Amino acid sequence: MTENSAELPQTPPRHRRSLIRRWVYPVTVIIAIAGVIWWLEARDNGGGASSTGERYGTADFPANLASEGAPIGINEGDFAPEFLLESMDGEEVRLSDFRGQPVVLNFWATWCAPCRKEMPQLVAAYEEHRDEGLVVIGLNLQESESIIRPFADDYGVEFPILIDRDGEVGDEYRLGGVPETIFIDANGIVHGRFIGPFESEDRGTDVQGAIESTELEARIADIMSPEGNDGGG
């Protein structure tokens, strides 16, 4: 380089470090966070897809069962919202698979003490009425098969247990907590919901939501009766 050549300006080392702190580090952190979010979504979508590629969670009704007249919702007289979930045994199950049968849809979790207290009542009701066509579905909220199976074995649960892995179905049904039970007739119509545990004994007003087991039987009788399957009530 000759004496007349223009020298390029040099960035002082301290200034370069300042630029790195101000721009490079934040951009790197943002890229890393975006990468983690992408990976989590990709993992969830991959693990949450059925064999047909349809996502587990809320779903559209099959064309031949599309609702007519009644709206889809969680109120009495509505068509119960459709869902597609994986069972504890790896089977793909839709609510509409049970159209033509009355359904007791119970939302629960193993960590829920009231759920544990009421489970024997649901097991007994299923055993008593399964030959009459009653379906009981235990819809577990966001737990793994390894946690659910010992619970099911301990309580002798033989009805289907489905897993709502991301809570989407629970959100669709506007759960206020667990346990919560939805009663659906053979036409897919909601007849009512009960928030809290079904108890084997009436413990009075000291236990919020505690009711006699005969109430569970009364609600089951309602969705199983021919009159009850004329469109709700």
pLDDT, mean of residues 141-166: 96
Same domain? 79 vs 43 = no
For 195, which DSSP code? E
Q: Where are the alpha helices (DSSP H) in the chain?
A: 13-19, 25-47, 113-129, 145-155, 168-172, 213-224
Q: Is 172 within a domain?
A: yes
Same domain? 107 vs 204 = yes
pLDDT, mean of residues 23-51: 56
pLDDT tens for each residue of 210-232? 445 588 999 999 999 886 566 54
Range of the domain at 175: 57-66+73-230
* 151 vs 19, higher pLDDT: 151
Given this model, what pLDDT does residue 232 score? 46
Given this model, what pLDDT does residue 126 score? 97
pLDDT tens for each residue of 173-188? 999 999 999 999 999 9
User: What's the CATH number where 178 sits?
Assistant: 3.40.30.10
Distance CA 27, CA 142 (A): 34
Given this model, what pLDDT does residue 63 score? 77
Distance CA 74, CA 108 (A): 17
Q: What is the pTM of this model?
A: 0.73
Contacts of 127 (CB under 8 A, 6+ apart): 158
Average pLDDT, the chain: 82
pLDDT tens for each residue of 85-106? 999 999 999 999 999 999 999 9
Same domain? 207 vs 101 = yes
* 170 vs 53, higher pLDDT: 170
Cα 75 to the center of its chain, rounded Å: 18
Q: Is 135 within a domain?
A: yes
Q: Is 2 within a domain?
A: no
Phi-psi region of 100 (alpha: psi -120 to 50; beta: other; left: phi over 0): left
pLDDT, mean of residues 53-58: 91
Q: Is 5 within a domain?
A: no
pLDDT, mean of residues 72-94: 95
Domain count, the chain: 2
Contacts of 186 (CB under 8 A, 6+ apart): 99, 100, 101, 102, 133, 223, 229
Q: Is 6 within a domain?
A: no
Same domain? 134 vs 30 = no
Establish how many alpha carbons lie within 13 A of residue 63's alpha carbon, considering only the half-sphere containing its beta carbon. 0
Fill in the amino acid letter for 181: T
Going by pLDDT thresholds of 50, 70 and 90, the confidence category of residue 45 is: very low
